[in-house]
């Protein structure tokens, strides 16, 4: 070997290098950092985060009553016991995440106010070259990393999804999206219309109802809800027996995961029975005279869209009390004083809240390229819903929708750490998912099967998301029961991961 060949490339001092770079300090990024510290303590890593604080979703959403819609025993990490009521408000979730950061001294790894704008893979240097902008100073910074751990979430934080309706500009009141909630919004004694009936609307309405003159949930079509008390009897019983919080966390998680698995199965096998079970408690609160079928009986099967938990039925008690109401109709146009509906009816409003969901964000809106070719993300095929063909050294965390998002954060954490250790053992520095000859002709399917799960924001974005195959490991299985066994057992040398 010539002297020139063994000489190392000159190090560019203006570029900071890390073994692993985590994008985002939301619940996924914080979880990723924990797993790296615990399982790969020798890896040097950094988290780059756009905002001035951690929390992602829980930092962004400031609307009244913002809360989880799944239980915190499973939405919390497996390594940090949850000790409160199952459904938690935003501040409680932020405290929990803050404790994880403090317990593990994670702040030293997080660079806040750093937005990544570009990520370019260099095959010759076997690393990602990252460009970032300091939000506070506008300074342009450069990083490089062997491995990218994408924890950027699934939607654009800066702005929510608001459809264009006719004559919106004629409305004289305020139009607000829950994702960009203004600090000065005064709704005391006002008439409010909330467009949408997802988890956000179901949270906002009971939280605002006591202060408004009246609040109306306007929906095009109904949504399923699960009503239950915000308690976990198993956890409470174990606490009475002075069982340790670590044990309670583990036992309650297992029980909730088993219950959820059963609920999913019943919804699949006996959809009409599941439908009736979900509607029964709503009928009990609203009574026989209320048109439940029109307003709360969706056309889709239970679990084809996420089902929001409504603690203590607060939304329905608000409707029963007359402070809130539900209207199922379509918007024709906005007027100066509210909304004209296609049925010809009108809704008077001082404030209109568009709880109409998200816009998907593809890989953090970062400009990606691989060896100077712009990345055609939609043209890739996913490896197990976490890596992508032709994209080296990159894992993306896309959590569950039917189960808690974080269950997948933990098992992907294990997978990434196992993969990094495996690469060290092999003495390689690049891993790229690639189709084997026998995979070349497999049937390609959308990222998520719309027949299985079909919320609006996913339907709107299927054309910009990767494809999945019809066989393993090219399937994206959004099913914790299957993945908790499949991911730890995944053969890293089955020929689908190419190392160099
Ligand atoms: C109101 C609300 C309630 C929810 N409740 C539940 C629930 O109860 N259970 C459940 O399972 N799921 C729930 N979800 C879904 C929720 O989004 C996920 O559970 C989870 O919070 C996603 O976490 P994340 O860290 O992957 O992404 P996010 O929370 O979206 O965080 C991503 C972070 O990455 C940063 N980032 C993105 N791009 C860049 C970039 N280019 N450069 C630097 N930083 C970047 C963002 O600033 C952000 O801080 C809820 C969602 C909402 C909106």
Smallest CA-to-CA distance from 469 within 398, 391, 385, 404 is with 385
Token representation of residue 1? 């070997």
Smallest CA-to-CA distance from 47 within 67, 27, 77, 63 is with 27
Q: Which residues of the chain, if any, have pLDDT below 70?
A: 1-13, 453-455
Tell me, using a 6 A CB cutoff, whether residue 351 lines ligand 1: no
Tell me, using a 6 A CB cutoff, whether residue 49 lines ligand 1: yes
Write the CATH number for 178.
3.50.50.60
Say yes or no: 195 and 328 in one domain: yes
Q: Are 413 and 35 in contact (CB under 8 A)?
A: yes
pTM over 0.85: yes
| pLDDT at res. 180 | 95
| pLDDT at res. 59 | 97
Say yes or no: 140 and 178 in one domain: no
| pLDDT at res. 10 | 52
Say yes or no: 199 and 125 in one domain: no
Q: Whose CA is nearest to atom 53 of ligand 1?
A: 57
Ligand 1: atom nearest CA of 397 is 26
- Pocket of ligand 1, candidates 22, 23, 24: which has the most ligand atoms within 8 Å of its Cβ, to mutate? 24
Say yes or no: 337 and 398 in one domain: no
For residue 173, being part of any structural domain is answered with yes
Q: Are 222 and 291 in contact (CB under 8 A)?
A: no
For residue 242, being part of any structural domain is answered with no
Say yes or no: 431 and 307 in one domain: no
- Phi-psi map region of 243: left, alpha, beta (phi>0 left; psi -120 to 50 alpha): beta
Smallest CA-to-CA distance from 32 within 111, 149, 154 is with 149
- The residue among 329, 354, 379 that closes a domain is 354
Say yes or no: 152 and 172 in one domain: no
Say yes or no: 115 and 191 in one domain: no
For residue 340, being part of any structural domain is answered with yes
Say yes or no: 308 and 398 in one domain: no
| pLDDT at res. 454 | 66
Ligand 1: atom nearest CA of 24 is 34
Q: Whose CA is nearest to atom 22 of ligand 1?
A: 153
For residue 248, being part of any structural domain is answered with no
For tokens 């399937």, the residue is 475
> How far apart, in whole angstroms, are the C-alpha atoms of residue 404 and residue 461?
22
Range of the domain at 280: 168-237+266-354
- The residue among 333, 354, 375 that closes a domain is 354
Token representation of residue 280? 């029964």
Cα 55 to middle of ligand 1, angstroms: 8
> How far apart, in whole angstroms, are the C-alpha atoms of residue 110 and residue 48?
6
pLDDT in tens, 304-328: 888 888 999 999 999 999 999 999 9
For residue 249, being part of any structural domain is answered with no
Token representation of residue 74? 């499973």
| pLDDT at res. 6 | 43
Say yes or no: 273 and 310 in one domain: yes
pLDDT in tens, 181-233: 999 999 999 999 999 999 999 999 999 999 999 999 999 999 999 999 999 99
For residue 244, being part of any structural domain is answered with no
| pLDDT at res. 450 | 72
Alpha helices in 242-360 (DSSP H): 245-269, 271-286, 292-296, 314-321
| pLDDT at res. 7 | 47
Q: Are 349 and 340 in contact (CB under 8 A)?
A: no
**What is the number of structural domains in the chain?**
2
For residue 88, being part of any structural domain is answered with yes
Say yes or no: 178 and 153 in one domain: no
Cα 86 to middle of ligand 1, angstroms: 19
Q: Whose CA is nearest to atom 15 of ligand 1?
A: 405
Smallest CA-to-CA distance from 358 within 175, 464, 165, 200 is with 200
Phi, psi dihedrals of residue 371, rounded to the nearest 5°: 50, 50
Token representation of residue 435? 């189709």
Cα 304 to middle of ligand 1, angstroms: 21
For residue 175, being part of any structural domain is answered with yes
Say yes or no: 195 and 292 in one domain: yes
| pLDDT at res. 123 | 97
Strand-pair category, 431-433 with 497-499: antiparallel
- The residue among 336, 354, 372 that closes a domain is 354
Say yes or no: 209 and 313 in one domain: yes
> How far apart, in whole angstroms, are the C-alpha atoms of residue 413 and residue 33?
9
């Amino acid at each position: 070997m010539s002297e020139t060949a063994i000489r190392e490339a000159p190090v560019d001092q203006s570029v900071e290098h890390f073994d692993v770079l985590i994008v985002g300090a939301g619940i996924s990024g914080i979880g990723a950092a924990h797993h790296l510290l615990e399982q790969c303590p020798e890896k040097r890593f950094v988290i780059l985060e756009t905002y001035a604080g951690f929390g992602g979703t829980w930092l962004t959403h400031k609307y009244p009553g913002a809360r989880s819609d799944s239980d915190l025993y499973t939405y919390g990490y497996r390594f940090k016991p949850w000790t409160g009521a199952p459904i938690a408000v935003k501040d409680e979730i932020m405290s929990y995440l803050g404790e994880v950061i403090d317990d593990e001294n994670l702040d030293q790894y997080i660079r806040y106010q750093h937005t990544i704008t570009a990520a370019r893979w260099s095959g010759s240097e076997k690393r990602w070259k990252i460009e970032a902008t300091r939000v506070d100073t506008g300074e342009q910074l450069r990083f490089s990393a062997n491995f990218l751990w994408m924890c950027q979430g699934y939607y654009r934080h800066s702005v929510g999804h608001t459809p264009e309706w006719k004559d919106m500009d004629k409305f004289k009141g305020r139009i607000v999206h829950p994702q960009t909630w203004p600090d000065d919004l005064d709704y005391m004694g006002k008439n409010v219309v909330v467009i949408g009936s997802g988890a956000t609307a179901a949270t906002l309405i009971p939280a605002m109802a006591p202060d408004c003159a009246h609040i109306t949930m306007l929906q095009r079509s109904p949504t399923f809800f699960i009503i239950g008390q915000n308690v976990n009897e198993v956890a409470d019983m174990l606490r009475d027996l002075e069982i340790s919080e670590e044990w309670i966390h583990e036992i309650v998680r297992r029980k909730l995961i088993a219950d959820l698995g059963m609920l999913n199965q019943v919804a699949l096998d006996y959809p009409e029975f599941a439908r009736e079970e979900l509607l029964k408690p709503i009928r009990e609160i609203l009574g026989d005279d209320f048109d439940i079928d029109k307003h709360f009986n969706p056309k889709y099967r239970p679990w084809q869209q996420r089902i929001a938990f409504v603690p203590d039925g607060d939304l329905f008690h608000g409707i029963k009390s007359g402070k809130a109401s539900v209207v199922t109709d379509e918007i024709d146009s906005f007027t100066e004083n509210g909304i004209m509906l296609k049925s010809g009816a009108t809704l008077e409003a001082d404030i209109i809240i568009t709880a109409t969901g998200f816009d998907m964000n593809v890989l953090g809106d970062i400009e990606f390229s691989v060896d100077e070719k712009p990345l055609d993300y939609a043209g890739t095929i996913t490896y197990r819903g976490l890596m992508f063909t032709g994209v080296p050294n990159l894992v993306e965390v896309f959590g569950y929708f039917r189960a808690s998002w974080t269950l997948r954060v933990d098992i992907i954490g294990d997978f990434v750490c196992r993969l990094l250790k495996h690469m060290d053992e092999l003495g390689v520095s690049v891993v790229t998912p690639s189709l084997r000859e026998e995979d070349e002709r497999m049937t390609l399917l959308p990222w998520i099967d719309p027949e299985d799960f079909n919320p609006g924001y996913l339907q709107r974005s299927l054309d910009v998301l990767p494809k999945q195959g019809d066989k393993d490991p090219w399937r994206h299985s959004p099913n914790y029961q299957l993945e908790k066994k499949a991911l730890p057992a995944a053969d890293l040398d089955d020929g689908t991961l190419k190392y160099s």
